[in-house]
Chain A
Amino acid sequence: MHISEGVLSPAILIGGATLAVAGVAIGMKNLEQKEIPTIGILSAAFFVASLIHVPAGPVSAHLILNGLVGLILGWKAFPAILVGLALQALLFQFGGITTLGVNTLNMALPAVICYHIFKNGLKTGMGKYTVIICAFATGFFSVLLSGIMVGLSLYLTGEAFLPAAKLVVAAHLPVMFIEGILTTTCVLFLKKVRPEILEESHVS
């Protein structure tokens, strides 16, 4: 899912970086002090998740966890994912510094979109099955959308869209299911232990 340096054309790098900066700005607006530790911890979880390798599927892929990050943080997923990606680029050589903007956008935007679609299903009073389905869908579709966005980034640089996107999505199919299950588990656990984390924190 991380796009390496030197793959994309400068126009897309700059465009991606601009949109990523805009996303981070929205995320940092109205940042409440008590949210800072949560953002940090989810950023750390995102950072580490990329090391967990999912051996199934045609190509080796790893966990991304952007769905969970988005579901808990909303727009604040942008700064969290930016920090995680920057450290992955510097310490693990995943992705790169020039592609940081595009990669942030590719992973954080789907998370935010899924957050807005599915957040209502997680509120108190919703049936257990609604919660499970919404949580699973967030984990699943965040990765799917990220895959499509990676395909789109490659397409805009000149690769054929369908093969590129198909390959990325196919490679991440097992990851989608695992992330769906993981997100559901985390959400059910959070609802039991700290239900307010899924509701109150983000008014934006």
Chain B
Amino acid sequence: MFRKYPYNAVLFGLKYNNFCLMFTMLWLLLLPVSVSAHNVTVFAWVDGDTIHTQSKFSGGKRVKNAPILVYDFKDVLLLEGKTDENGMFSFKIPQKTALKIVLKASMGHLAFWKLQAEELGETESKTAVQPTGMKVPLVTDSGSAGIEKNVDVLESTKISLGRREIEEIIDASLDKKLRPITQMLADAMNQKPGFTEIMGGIGYILGLVGIALYFANRKRNR
């Protein structure tokens, strides 16, 4: 029955109605969008000897009472727990290797976050932080820069100790300074699909329709 009409009439005449109608439907659907849906993310960061995790649905809704499983790099289960009312779950570092933190939200939703060994390694020295650290570093360090060649064995051990302490102090203060930024990153992890993604997807579909029509048309004209 399709052959009765010339192609253009179908596309621009008959189908014009159809297009208008469907686009109105699309726009009606688009208008009340409150973007939030089914995609879960888990984000983990190290703070001292503790690992914090935060779990969210896309759109920012927290994932409550969902199991969190922590695996090492060989997929051996190290520990598990549940997220609290704020989607948070914290635990002591179980071992200083790369960790994989898996969130199992209900209904077949799953997300994971990998922590590299280096992220955890940084904290290794932290347990050894000495309260006396404050006055040692700068003097010995500048000394080490100046008289590098003349140091005896005793001096060099002192210097290396000093360096270690400096590192620890820097780590501690960096941790403190970076905490708001880590928090911001955690908050930014709930990527809502934006306008670009939505329009991009619709564009892809229209493109596919175009390609399909092109081939269908070529077949017909043969």
Contact = CB atoms under 8 A, between A and B. Distances in A.
Nearest to A49: B29
A128 interface: no
Interface string B186-222: 0000010100011011101110110011001100100
Contacts of B217: 33
Given A36-B212, A37-B213, A153 B202 contact: no
A153 B205 contact: no
A87 B108 contact: no
A32 B111 CA distance: 41
B140 interface: no
Interface string B16-31: 0111011101100110
Contacts of B36: 53, 60, 62
Interface in A1-60: 1-8, 31-34, 36-45, 47-53, 55, 59-60
Contact of A52 (B25, B33, B40): B33
Given A2-B39, A93-B58, 16 more contacts: A3-B107, A32-B2, A33-B216, A40-B205, A41-B19, A44-B205, A45-B29, A47-B205, A53-B59, A84-B205, A88-B201, A92-B37, A94-B39, A153-B108, A190-B21, A193-B21
Contacts of A40: 205-206, 208-209, 212
Contacts of B19: 37, 41
- Provide the main secondary structure of the chain A interface: helix
A91 B193 contact: yes
Contacts of B18: 37-38, 41, 194, 197
Contacts of A41: 18-19, 22-23, 26, 209
B206 A87 contact: no
Interface string A47-89: 1111111010001111100000000000000000001100110
Interface of B: 1-2, 7, 10-11, 14-15, 17-19, 21-23, 25-26, 29-30, 32-40, 57-59, 61, 106-112, 191, 193, 197-198, 200-202, 204-206, 208-209, 212-213, 216-217, 220
A60 B37 contact: yes
B106 A34 contact: no
B107 A1 contact: yes
B33 to A, nearest CB: 6
Contacts of A94: 37-39
Contact of B38 (A1, A38, A47, A49): A1
Nearest to A193: B21
Given A36-B216, A51-B37, A171 B205 contact: no
Nearest to B23: A41
Interface of A: 1-8, 31-34, 36-45, 47-53, 55, 59-63, 83-84, 87-88, 91-94, 150, 153-154, 164, 167-168, 171, 186, 189-190, 193-194, 197, 200
A52 B29 contact: yes
A46 B107 CA distance: 20
B202 A48 contact: yes
Contacts of A38: 18, 22
A194 B21 contact: yes
A60 B25 contact: no
A48 B15 contact: no
Contacts of B11: 37
Contacts of A59: 106-107
Q: Of A41, A42, A49, which is in contact with the most chain B CB atoms at under 10 Å from its CB?
A: A41
B108 A4 contact: yes
Contact of B205 (A55, A61, A83, A189): A83
A137 to B, nearest CB: 20
Contacts of A3: 107-109
